[in-house]
Amino acid sequence: MSYYEKHVFFCTNQRSGGKTCCANSGSIEMRAYAKKRIKELGIAGAGRVRINSAGCMDRCEEGPVIVVYPEGVWYTYEDEADIDEIIEKHLLKGQVVEELMI
């Protein structure tokens, strides 16, 4: 079994020169929100869920992006409602949120 049942990586990379990047699309704030929510839900920690920041995952134009492992499912998101949906469906119930997949 994986050390984390769901290991979620938010790209929080900041690119220079006005290039498209996840950090300019609110990824730092959305990652903080996700981290807070899984703590509130009591599902944070070893054996459960980890919300990580990550450097550039090289899918900038499709971003902001996250990837959920071990499944390797990639999502984009716009706001807290999208993050809530990923948490409630994917992280809690193991259901892929198809409309947010990239």
Q: Which residues bind its own copies (CB under 8 A)?
A: 1-4, 7, 9, 12, 45-46, 50, 52-59, 67, 69-72, 74
Q: Measured between alpha carbons, how far is 17 from 48 in angstroms, rounded to an integer?
A: 38
Within a 13 Å sphere around the CA of 44, how many CA atoms are in the beta-carbon half?
10
CB of 28 to its own copies, least distance (A): 11
Q: Tokens representing 102?
A: 């990239």
* Beta bridge partners of residue 11, listed in sequence order: 54
CB of 1 to its own copies, least distance (A): 8
Please identify, using beta-carbon distances, which residue of 69 and 84 lies nearer to its own copies. 69
Please identify, using beta-carbon distances, which residue of 59 and 89 lies nearer to its own copies. 59
DSSP-assigned letter for residue 16: S
Provide the pairing of β-strand 49-54 with 65-69. unpaired
Please identify, using beta-carbon distances, which residue of 81 and 98 lies nearer to its own copies. 98
CB of 13 to its own copies, least distance (A): 9
